[in-house]
Amino acid sequence: MSAATVPTARGGGHPSAARAVAAGAPAGIVGGLAFGAAMAQLGVLPTVATLVGLGSSRAGFAVHMAISAVVGAGFGLMVRRQRCGPSETMFLGAAYGALWWCIGPLTLLPLALGQAPAWDVAAAQREFPSLVGHLLFGVGTALVYVLLHGPGEAGRARQPIGAGALARGLAAGALAALALGAVLENRAPAVAAGAVVGLLQAVMSPRSDQGIGAALVRGQGYGFVAWVVGELTVLPMLADEGLRWSLAEARESFPGLPGWLLLGALAAVTSTLLDRLAPLLSSEHLRAYRGTTAGSGVLSAALRGAVAGLLGGAVISQLMLRGAVPEVAERLTGSNGPLAGIAVNLGIGVAIGVSYGLLFRRLGQDVTCALGWGLSYGFLWWVLGPLTLLPALLGGDPEWTAAAAGGSMSALAGHLVYGGCLGVAFHLLEAPFGVPWLARTRAEALRALRRREELLAATPALSAVLLAMLLTLLVVTLGA
């Protein structure tokens, strides 16, 4: 079932196509202005002008803005049936920009110039500045679309953001940056950057009851956007250094990407915890509290997560038996036999599965949702594991360089396969015990229905931004 077909508690239909285009086209123009200014600085506008037989920068800018309006209108049509809040719309915008990078500079532009599509790694890496620009265009277009069109049904269902929520967002981001700074020293983003990320999350992701697991995945998306918009674009310009959009500069800035991902995830989790603690100060909330629902036990979720993690670890052990599994076992235990590799891999799989069960219980509304959560969690553990914790356990520093990430592509594939197996297996184990969705009152039923709608709407957006992250990661790290 898609998010568009879920009945709502409030009723109402989807916005008209005309209204979506009326908001999307101006949003595309605004997003195109920022991208066009960057293209002028990079000197690529004359190439765009060749599409209409001209060669001047002014003609290229006019063509670019016309294309931006059309692409922005397409974005409005794409998201008008999605029950997205502001953050999900922004993530869809980033993925939409990455899609148009594949359609435009890699496909249509070469064909218009009488060349073959640029579908190889070397050509994609030459067009990396355009990828960053398209990501920026997609994010800008989505944000302006939200302002012009409104937050959508999912956003209107939430309460307005208060000063307390903003304060908790600031505090969560600052605390996350301080915690990372204490562990990672000079590799963590500054406290001010953490506060900004926390504040943006509070504004873009109003308080909801989706859960800590959903917040963790959403935080990764914020970290990725912060790296592209902040570290590659805004911060260098504020320092009068110009855009850092070249492939070489992105590789130099790559060590900051894992820090931003972890900062976004930790800030989102901290903000969610603070949001849950805040109502405890209210006596009305305490009087209204009626206990946990049946089947929501932590122990049962942990056990199902352990079984799912064991299954996922078994799949990866078979796929990687002659590769990274024995190598990791040898590095951690000093034993290089295949049985030791399988045992270590299964143990790690069970441990991660337990954490998944605790964080993502009751979030897998269907197999598609479960697959999206699992893939995103697997990606996070690739950052935490081979790039961060494994080097630290061996007495070294986190390996956050583009070269190290490029050399860990097989581990990334393994973590994604493991995450997908983990998410689906956990959902299949949890589905027969769907008792938590049985509501005792009409208010509980409405909350459960709204939560289901939010989760079904969030999954496509978070999965899409994960694809944009993976695409960017591959272009930056391959051959580094």
Arithmetic mean of pLDDT, 450-470: 81
- The pair of structure tokens assigned to 330 is 């040898």
Asked whether 61 and 40 are in contact (CB, 8 A), the reply is: yes
The C-alpha atoms of residue 99 and residue 97 are separated, in whole angstroms, by 5
The residue-averaged pLDDT of 151-167 equals 63
Q: How far are the Cα atoms of 125, 252, 261, 270, 470 from residue 466, in angstroms, in the given order?
A: 19, 22, 12, 21, 6
Residue 221 has pLDDT above 50, yes or no: yes
Q: What six digits make up the tokens of 394? A: 């061996």
Those residues with Cβ within 8 angstroms of residue 12's Cβ, 6 or more apart along the chain or in another chain:
153
What pLDDT was estimated at residue 83?
A: 74
Residue count of the chain: 480
State both tokens at 127. 């067009």
pLDDT at 298 over 70: yes
> How far apart are the C-alpha atoms of 342 and 355, rounded to whole Å?
20
Q: What is the reported pLDDT for 141? A: 96
| Region at 401 (left for phi over 0; alpha for psi -120 to 50; beta for the rest) | beta
Confidence of residue 242 (pLDDT cuts 50, 70, 90): confident
- On the question of pLDDT at 207 being above 80, the answer is no
**Residues 104, 105, 107, 110, CA torsion sign:** positive
Mean of all residue pLDDT scores within the chain: 83
What is the reported pLDDT for 284? 43
Q: Which own/partner contact pairs does 346-350 have at CB distance under 8 Å and 24+ positions apart? A: 346/310, 346/313, 346/314, 346/317, 347/313, 348/313, 348/385, 349/309, 349/310, 349/312, 349/313, 349/314, 349/316, 349/418, 349/422, 350/306, 350/309, 350/310, 350/313
Condensed to tens digits (0 to 9), the pLDDT of residues 342-380 reads 788 889 999 999 999 999 987 867 888 889 999 999 999
pLDDT at 65: 95
Q: Which residue has the higher pLDDT, 468 or 54?
A: 468
Q: CA-based angle 152:442:206, to the nearest 5?
A: 30
Question: What phi, psi does 150 have (nearest 5°)?
Answer: 100, 170
Calculate the dihedral angle through the C-alpha atoms of 336, 341, 344, 346, rounding to the nearest 10 degrees: -170
Give the C-alpha separation, 240 to 220, whole Å: 28
pLDDT bracket for residue 182 (50, 70, 90):
confident
pLDDT at residue 206 in the model: 65
Identify the pLDDT of residue 396: 83
**What is the number of alpha carbons within 13 Å of residue 170 lying toward its C-beta?**
7
Give the model confidence (pLDDT) of 409-441 as tens digits. Answer: 888 998 999 999 999 999 999 887 654 444 556
Domain spans, the chain = 3-156, 163-278, 298-437
Higher pLDDT, 293 or 192: 192
Q: Tell me the pLDDT tens digit for each residue of 16-75.
A: 888 889 999 999 999 999 999 999 988 888 988 888 888 888 999 999 999 999 999 999
Taking only the tens place, the pLDDT of each residue in 112-121 is: 888 889 899 9
Above pLDDT 70, what percent of the chain?
A: 80
Cα-based angle 412, 130, 190 (whole degrees, multiple of 5): 60
